[in-house]
């Protein structure tokens, strides 16, 4: 159905970003927070009304904007598409985005650069909405690159901190690797389909050359691994926690990092046409879930625990997409957005109270002082650990059920193990932060105000009940809502059953939780051991994420530096410089030769003028 409303979802945050960027030094912090939140709130309202329009029409909403470029044999139209997949993402991006904007209006109020912060945050909402609204791969790529820029700007928001600047750079560089993958995929796609519109590409995917489709699928996966922090391009995400906590909650937990999952779901006809690419998605997802969860068990920074947990949960989503269970994967994205945003905002409240302390070895006993944070964080922990009836229980089990139903026993076992590990590291985190006695005296911090508490309360509520929209055998809202988008290209999304596998997952989670309580409860042995190391960084492979980052830094960095040395001292001055200088010298000599004719004498000019005329007159006389 044609509509004109979708573009407003983009225009509100874009206008907000422009107004805040221009007025950042003139508006009061309160007004800045209100304007920023209002812009995203308006976007959310439009997204809701678009949802209504979609349900009424029963057909995807489309809005043609303009023809981007037109040449012989190709045309790139630019339009917006409001189908179930994009509406699903939009509601979360703008809805959770709105809550986090409200939270940030208090959290960041003291920062002298609050205007710049909200301008960037609004810009991110614009870029992310563009990513999910575009009806073609060019628009998607533009949104993709823009969220990358927004991420760079916000991770490095405190640009006076060298770590923040370095983290921002790392995130940007790794994401550029992903973007190169996507651009290459687009080139191949255009060669094969002569179009970059979703409709043309997907309609032709089944008949296309198998090799090219597999290559396209793998190249898109490279993009997804970079954006969604999957193996092997995940190392930027833990560092990205240098950004302000609302940024971590919105971009590096709830929305931006799920863009890779969005790409997998959006381009599903490509993956359904190539079993090899699909299997690659599943294994990347499964292994990332495992690595993220294992590493999270040995982290001591509250935000890094959550970052590795995000990586692990994104692995679940990729795993779901990799076995073709898109509705389960997207449902987990939905619930994860709530409980992970909740956990990050809870961590933000703790850090706010402790004046920026993030080392969990220095916390403890905060349950009594911060009862609100205690209870809401507990809900988040229960949700992510998969305790019924909280949200994570239903969405995680849908994915694992589908994995087993598709016959991937090995991946299912990995999934079960990850469920146990998730419960373990989350309960460990909770126990260290809130239970027991305070590890250090921090003095009286101030508790959060209403603007921070209200969004957290709403997210806690959603983390509790949002799973209930998909109780197996009772309700199936995500499946019913999302199915048409996949049926449009003739794909039936598989679902898992219920029964003993659920019991196995629950048992694994319970075991993990019990182990954590035993070790890190108020008098647990592991707790004492860990607290003894306070003040120094943890050693070991787990605490350092298997040294993968060091391998990148030292190995690849060393390779680059070494090559640079050879090129810089051997190749460059002698070979390349010689070539360049030769060319430049040639240019210069030709130009000087020409310059000699330009003596500045009119008689010489006239001579050349008439000589030219004469030469060509002779030619005309001859032909």
What are the residues binding another protein (CB under 8 A)?
Answer: 66-72, 584, 587-588, 590-592, 594-595, 597-598, 600, 602, 605-606, 608-613, 616-617, 619-621, 623
In the complex with another protein, which residue's Cβ is closer, 56 or 592?
592
CB neighbours (10 Å) of residue 298? 19
Pairs from 64-67 (Cβ < 8 Å, separation ≥ 24): 64/2, 65/7
**Nearest distance, CB of residue 510 and another protein, angstroms:** 57
**Shortest separation between residue 545's beta carbon and another protein, angstroms:** 39
Residue 474 or 621 having the CB closest to another protein: 621
3-state secondary structure string across 69-136: EEECCEEEEEEEEECHHHHHHHHHHHHHHHHHHHHHHHHCCCCCCHHHHHHHHHHHHHHHHHHHHECE
Which residue lies nearer to another protein by CB, 480 or 606?
606
Q: Give the residue with the Cβ less far from another protein, 57 or 590.
A: 590
Cβ at position 67, least distance to another protein in Å: 5
Q: Which is nearer to another protein, 563 or 606 (CB)?
A: 606
Cβ-Cβ contacts under 8 Å for 151 (sequence gap 6 or more) = 124, 168, 171, 172, 175, 240, 251, 252, 256
When the beta carbons of 474 and 594 are compared against another protein, the nearer one is: 594
d(CA 612, CA 221): 60
Q: How far is the CB of 593 from another protein (least distance, A)?
A: 9
Tokens matching residue 350: 């703790």
Minimum distance from residue 71 beta carbon to another protein (Å): 6
CA separation for the pair 522, 356 (Å, rounded): 24
> For the chain, give me the number of helices (H) and strands (E)?
27, 2
For another protein, the closer of residues 557 and 595 by Cβ is 595
Shortest reach from residue 78's CB to another protein, in Å: 10
Q: How far apart are CA 548 and CA 231, in angstroms?
A: 10
Question: Smallest gap, in angstroms, from Cβ of residue 619 to another protein?
Answer: 6
The residue among 1 and 613 lying less far from another protein, judged by its C-beta, is 613
Pick 207 or 592: Cβ nearer another protein: 592
What is the four-CA torsion angle of 25, 93, 299, 539, rounded to 10 degrees?
A: -70
Q: How far is the CB of 80 from another protein (least distance, A)?
A: 17
Judged by CB, which is closer to another protein: 66, or 500?
A: 66
Beta-strand ranges (E) seen in 190-291 are none
**Least Å distance between CB 528 and another protein?**
57
CB of 611 to another protein, least distance (A): 8
Question: Buried b vs exposed e over 406-434: b needs ≥16 C-beta within 10 Å?
Answer: bebeebbbbbbbbbbbbbbbbbbbbbbbb
User: CA separation (Å) from 473 to 162, 194, 398, 501?
Assistant: 53, 44, 12, 16
Q: CA dist 216 to 210, 232, 596, Å?
A: 10, 19, 55
* CA-closest candidate to residue 129, choices 305, 7, 270, 295: 7
Task: Compute φ and ψ for 413, nearest 5 degrees.
Answer: -60, -40
Q: How far is CA 496 from CA 111, 259, 318, 324, in A?
A: 48, 24, 16, 11
Buried b or exposed e, range 168-184, using 16+ CB within 10 angstroms: bebbbebbeebbebbeb
- Cβ 68 to another protein, closest distance in Å? 7
Residues in contact with 234: Cβ distance below 8 Å, sequence separation at least 6, in sequence order: 225, 288, 291, 292, 311, 548
State which residue, 70 or 574, has the beta carbon closest to another protein. Answer: 70
Specify the residue, 194 or 539, whose C-beta has the smaller distance to another protein: 194
Q: Which is closer to another protein, CB of 5 or CB of 65? A: 65
**Cis ω for the linkage preceding 232 (within 30 of 0):** yes
Smallest separation, CB 592 to another protein (Å): 7
Give the SS3 label for residue 63: strand
Contact yes or no for 346/383 (Cβ under 8 A):
no
For the bound state, the minimum distance from the C-beta of residue 581 to another protein, rounded and expressed in Å, comes to 13
């Amino acid at each position: 159905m044609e509509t004109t409303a979708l573009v407003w979802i983009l225009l509100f945050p874009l206008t907000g970003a422009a107004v805040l960027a221009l007025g950042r030094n003139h508006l009061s912090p309160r007004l800045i927070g209100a304007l920023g939140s209002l812009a995203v709130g308006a976007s959310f309202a439009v997204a809701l009304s678009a949802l209504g329009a979609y349900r009424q029409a029963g057909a995807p909403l489309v809005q043609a904007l303009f023809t981007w470029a037109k040449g012989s044999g190709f045309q790139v139209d630019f339009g917006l598409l409001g189908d179930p997949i994009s509406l699903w993402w939009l509601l979360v991006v703008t809805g959770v985005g709105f809550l986090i904007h409200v939270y940030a209006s208090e959290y960041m109020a003291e920062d002298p650069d609050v205007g710049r912060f909200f301008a960037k945050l609004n810009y991110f909402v614009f870029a992310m909405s563009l990513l999910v609204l575009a009806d073609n791969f060019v628009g998607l790529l533009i949104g993709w690159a823009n969220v990358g820029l927004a991420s760079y700007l916000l991770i490095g928001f405190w640009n006076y901190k060298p770590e923040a600047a370095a983290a921002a750079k790392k995130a940007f560089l790794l994401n550029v690797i992903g973007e190169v993958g996507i651009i290459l995929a687009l080139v191949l796609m255009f060669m094969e389909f002569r179009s970059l519109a979703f409709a043309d590409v997907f309609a032709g995917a089944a008949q296309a050359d198998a090799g090219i489709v597999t290559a396209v699928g793998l190249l898109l996966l490279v993009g997804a691994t970079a954006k969604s922090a999957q193996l092997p391009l995940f190392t930027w995400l833990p560092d990205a926690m240098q950004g302000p906590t609302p940024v971590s909650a919105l971009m590096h937990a709830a929305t931006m990092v799920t863009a890779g999952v969005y790409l997998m779901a959006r381009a599903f006809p490509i993956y359904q046409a190539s079993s090899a690419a699909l299997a690659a998605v599943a294994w990347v997802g499964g292994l990332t879930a495992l690595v993220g969860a294992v590493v999270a068990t040995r982290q001591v920074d509250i935000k890094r625990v959550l970052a590795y947990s995000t990586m692990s949960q994104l692995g679940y989503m990729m795993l779901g997409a990799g076995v073709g269970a898109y509705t389960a994967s997207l449902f987990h994205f939905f619930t994860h957005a709530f409980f992970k945003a909740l956990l990050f905002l809870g961590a933000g409240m703790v850090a706010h109270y402790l004046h920026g302390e993030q080392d969990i070895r220095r916390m403890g006993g905060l349950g009594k002082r911060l009862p609100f944070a205690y209870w809401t964080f507990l809900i988040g922990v229960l949700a992510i650990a998969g305790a019924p009836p909280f949200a994570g229980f239903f969405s995680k089990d849908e994915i694992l059920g589908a994995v087993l139903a598709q016959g991937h026993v090995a991946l299912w076992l990995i999934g079960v193990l990850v469920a146990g590990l998730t419960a373990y590291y989350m309960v460990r985190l909770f126990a260290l932060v809130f239970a027991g006695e305070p590890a250090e005296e921090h003095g009286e911090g101030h508790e959060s105000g209403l603007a921070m508490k209200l969004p957290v309360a709403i997210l806690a509520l959603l983390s509790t009940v949002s799973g209930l929209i998909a109780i197996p055998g009772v309700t199936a809202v995500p499946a019913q809502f999302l199915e048409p988008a996949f049926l449009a290209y003739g794909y039936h999304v598989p679902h898992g059953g219920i029964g003993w596998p659920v019991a196995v997952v629950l048992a694994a989670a319970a075991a993990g939780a019990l182990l954590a309580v035993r070790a890190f409860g108020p008098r647990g042995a592991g707790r004492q051991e860990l607290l003894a190391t306070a003040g120094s960084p943890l050693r070991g492979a787990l605490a350092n994420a298997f040294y993968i980052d060091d391998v990148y830094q030292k190995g690849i960095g060393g390779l680059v530096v070494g090559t640079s040395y050879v090129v810089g001292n051997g190749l460059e001055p002698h070979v390349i410089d010689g070539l360049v200088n030769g060319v430049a010298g040639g240019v210069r000599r030709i130009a000087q030769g020409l310059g000699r004719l330009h003596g500045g004498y009119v008689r010489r000019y006239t001579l050349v003028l008439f000589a030219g005329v004469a030469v060509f007159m002779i030619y005309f006389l001859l032909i």
